[in-house]
Amino acid sequence: MTDTRQRSFEDNDQKPMGFGRMLRKEDPRFVRGRGRYTDDVQLPGMLHLAILRSPFAHARIVSVDTSAAAALPEVKAVITGADLAGLGLAWMPTLSGDVQAVLATDKVRFQGQEVAFVVATDRYAARDALELIDVEYDVLDPVIDVRQALAEGAPLIRDDLDGKTDNHCFDWETGDADATAAVFAKADVVVSQDLVYPRVHPAPMETCGSVADFDPVEGRLKLWSTTQAPHAHRTLYAMVAGIPEHKIQVISPDLGGGFGNKVPIYPGYVCSIVGSIVTGKPVKWMEDRSENLISTGFARDYIMRGEIAATRDGKILAIRTNVLADHGAFNGTAAPVKYPAGFFGVFTGSYDIEAAYCSMTAVYTNKAPGGVAYACSFRITEAVYLVERIVDCLAYELDMDPAALRLKNFIQPDQFPYMSKTGWEYDSGDYEPTMRLAMELAGYDELRKEQAEKRTRGELMGIGISFFTEAVGAGPRKHMDILGLGMADGCELRVHPTGKAVVRLSVQTQGQGHETTFAQIIAEEIGIAPADIDVVHGDTDNTPFGLGTYGSRSTPVSGAAAALVARKVRDKARLIASSMLEVSVADLEWEKGSFHVKGDPGTAVTIQDIAMRAHGAGDLPDGLEGGLEAQICYNPSNLTYPHGAYICVVDVDPGTAVVKVRRFIAVDDCGTRINPMIIEGQVHGGLTDGVGMALMEMISFDEDGNCLGASLMDYLIPTALEVPDWETGFTVTPSPHHPIGAKGVGESATVGSPPAIVNAVVDALKPYGVRHADMPLTPSRVWDAMRGTAQPP
């Protein structure tokens, strides 16, 4: 279906001088297979590392015998937890302030945990040697069911922590419990619903890996690794390994997707560093698919009870929730330290309500560590699912149209900046036009008529809505840091004498097209064509410090830095232009790419002329240094709050319970749009994620803690066959505090789509009296829901 609105609003120019549709600059490299990924790094004398992993979810290590493996001629080193303990490296801090075993010393705490590693002359020999390592385990009872983690007598997982007597990880609350209880007490209608957001996995196409090259003479470490946050990782390696920070270079080359999976520091990275130090050779570690699925950062795993209070005519008064969070064996969440539950506090959604409260308990279980990854916007995925599902439950109870219920409760445009009941200051928003546009593109009223007619024939058609507000762009450094590192971003811009430029970013693209969009931001501000601007990122030696790409923060934080650094360059260019044109600064006018004398457009100098003068012979204005460059560190004053309205249409086969997503309409508002084509790509990808989570994906375990989703045959991810032709539209509500008014969009669709799909399936099942069913809505789940035989997952 053609989205006419999009076409009429935007020009289709492929070479904009600034914002607009433009093919990605990185495409020629990727399309021709010329990307350079970590696994493409080849160094002279490089060795290969393989990791021995625990077959058990919970077991004491009695002994490890490495002699047979070490005797193989190809094997250069075999390292165990005991060896690392001797170096003080057996444990490392996680990004959320817990500790995690690099190699297990005392116990293994999840299936797939790292126990020992081998460094050998090739990958195959290293793998073969793993089979010769003899580990004796004393198997312990595991904690797999999160609801049993705090039960009396539950096996203690984290006996490594001083004084720990149970599997409690942390408690967290937000909002006002008493005020919320009071509102609930007086409400006409109260609806409560248990919801499970299952454990899922980002499963990027490229698995995690690293190449470490330690030079003992210089004491320098060069590390290529699959990381979304090279600078933060470098600082942590310096703190953990004791190598001075200026002697560590972290390079994150092309990444084959990250989706949050490449935010944490994994034991494998540390092992490759140790391997290189021990052998004196470069060492490569590269996971296989199963290793990635069983041991690296999972996502979600929240069991939620949602409660909503309203008047009989559908005014929402309060929302309350209680959450049980499964954090696995080590708290490997990456979130700003003051936010152990990420930004879950935005669970009040897009609605103006009187009170809200959330209490959360997080626990340890014998499962892989992780917690936030997978296009999560720091747990906003879970928050949006909660509120958008519970609002639909309310619509069901009130027998109200879910679109009408939402329209009745939106925060109004004149209420922005809006302080939510849990303390989040929404910067800007205008929700109703976004919702109305989605309804118009969907043909909402027609769809409802079609549905009513189909129901008379026993056909199951469902229409699901989700309306989300995200909080992205972490974050203001007075509130947000990771392990003490403030979440500001540096940016540096240099204009060469011939007027070409290079911009250096602290963020790291994983496929979002930063090499294009950041060049467009600079182009918009100083009028140098994007093709003439090189974007450098992902190398700590060649970029300014900053905390990296996740939580859709690149545009809100680094994008702002890029715009401001360009304005700094423009300010200097203005001074030079005034001397070149021999007029005062006040008499100059800027037109993208050149300054001219006010009222005399013919008397002008281009940015290229100015760049040459800045570097060339001849005088510059008094006191001005040569060159045309600038650097800044941008500390955002607030997060940005993008929003969107999604409508999903499904058909459910009453005979097989198979769900088909027939249509999906997504209207996103991410403020000023830098490159609409890239935004559409981000939205398409995120919507596809949503189909995966809503209908197919779940990492599950048997009662012994065996991971049942350790391959892509078992862990189903969506393909072109499961997804419809996406229909997109947009509205534009700029961020008032961002220099170009842009808000993040990289995770919006992943956040917003699962509730739309689930709401659609539940709506389809309305004739069966179904009010809720848990993800993933596989045919058997849907079948159970239709029959009323559903079990909690």
Binding residues for ligand MCN, rule: CB under 6 A, are: 204, 257-260, 375, 510-514, 517, 549-555, 670-675, 678-679, 682, 685, 742-747
Cα-Cα-Cα-Cα torsion 338, 748, 750, 560, nearest 10 degrees, comes to -60
Contacts of 740 (CB under 8 A, 6+ apart): 521, 524, 559, 560, 563, 672, 674
Identify which of residues 729 and 754 has a Cβ nearer to ligand CUM in the complex.
754
Least distance CB 263 / ligand MCN (angstroms): 8
Residue from 51, 52, 236, 373 touching ligand CUM (CB under 6 A): that is 373
Least distance CB 630 / ligand MCN (angstroms): 20
Least distance CB 263 / ligand CUM (angstroms): 6
Contact between 361 and 405 under an 8 Å Cβ cutoff? The reply is no
Binding partner of residue 372 among ligand CUM, ligand MCN, none, CB cut-off 5 to 8 Å per kind: ligand CUM
The DSSP letter of residue 345 is G
CA distance 384 to 382: 6
Q: Strand 355-363 and strand 316-326: pairing?
A: parallel
Contact between 770 and 786 under an 8 Å Cβ cutoff? The reply is yes
- Site for ligand CUM contains 374 (CB under 6 A): yes
Least distance CB 687 / ligand MCN (angstroms): 12
Full strand arrangement of the beta sheet holding 594-597? 588-591, 594-597, 600-606
Residue from 198, 230, 260, 464 touching ligand CUM (CB under 6 A): that is 260
Task: Supply the angle between the helices 444-456 and 431-442 in degrees, to the nearest 10.
Answer: 50
Least distance CB 487 / ligand CUM (angstroms): 12
Distances (CA, A) of 688 to 89, 691, 721: 40, 5, 11
Contact between 286 and 261 under an 8 Å Cβ cutoff? The reply is no
- Site for ligand CUM contains 263 (CB under 6 A): yes
Least distance CB 490 / ligand MCN (angstroms): 15
- Site for ligand CUM contains 610 (CB under 6 A): no
First to last CA, the chain: 37
Binding partner of residue 744 among ligand MCN, ligand CUM, none, CB cut-off 5 to 8 Å per kind: ligand MCN
Residue from 375, 564, 577, 605 touching ligand CUM (CB under 6 A): that is 375
- Site for ligand CUM contains 275 (CB under 6 A): no
Single out the residue of 189, 188, 164, 573 nearest to residue 394, CA to CA: 189
Cα-Cα-Cα-Cα torsion 651, 384, 148, 191, nearest 10 degrees, comes to -80
Least distance CB 319 / ligand MCN (angstroms): 26
Count CA atoms closer than 13 A to 434's CA, side-chain side.
Answer: 29
Least distance CB 360 / ligand CUM (angstroms): 18
Binding partner of residue 263 among ligand MCN, ligand CUM, none, CB cut-off 5 to 8 Å per kind: ligand CUM
CA distance 531 to 624: 29
Least distance CB 286 / ligand MCN (angstroms): 18
Residue from 69, 92, 372, 523 touching ligand CUM (CB under 6 A): that is 372
Task: Enumerate the H helices of 457-528 as residue ranges.
Answer: 514-526
Stretch that binds ligand CUM, among 80-88, 148-156, 368-376, 626-634 (CB under 6 A): 368-376
Binding partner of residue 742 among ligand CUM, ligand MCN, none, CB cut-off 5 to 8 Å per kind: ligand MCN
Identify which of residues 228 and 517 has a Cβ nearer to ligand CUM in the complex.
228
Contact between 514 and 255 under an 8 Å Cβ cutoff? The reply is no
Binding partner of residue 707 among ligand MCN, ligand CUM, none, CB cut-off 5 to 8 Å per kind: none
Q: How many residues bind ligand CUM (CB under 6 A)?
A: 13
Contacts of 53 (CB under 8 A, 6+ apart): 111, 112, 113, 114, 115, 291, 294, 295
Residue from 90, 277, 376, 560 touching ligand CUM (CB under 6 A): that is 376
Whose tokens are 């545009």? That residue is 555
Longest dimension (CA), the chain: 86
Amino acid identity of 590? W
Binding partner of residue 257 among ligand MCN, ligand CUM, none, CB cut-off 5 to 8 Å per kind: ligand MCN
Task: Point out the residue whose Cβ comes nearest to ligand CUM.
Answer: 260
Binding partner of residue 527 among ligand MCN, ligand CUM, none, CB cut-off 5 to 8 Å per kind: none
Contact between 692 and 628 under an 8 Å Cβ cutoff? The reply is no
CA distance 255 to 251: 11
Q: Please list the residues that pair with 535 across neighbouring strands.
A: 503
Identify which of residues 142 and 551 has a Cβ nearer to ligand CUM in the complex.
551
Least distance CB 522 / ligand MCN (angstroms): 12
Binding partner of residue 734 among ligand CUM, ligand MCN, none, CB cut-off 5 to 8 Å per kind: none
Question: Which residues in 547-566 contact ligand CUM (CB under 6 A)?
Answer: 550-551
Identify which of residues 374 and 385 has a Cβ nearer to ligand CUM in the complex.
374
Residues interacting with ligand CUM, by CB under 6 A?
Answer: 228, 258-260, 263, 372-376, 550-551, 747
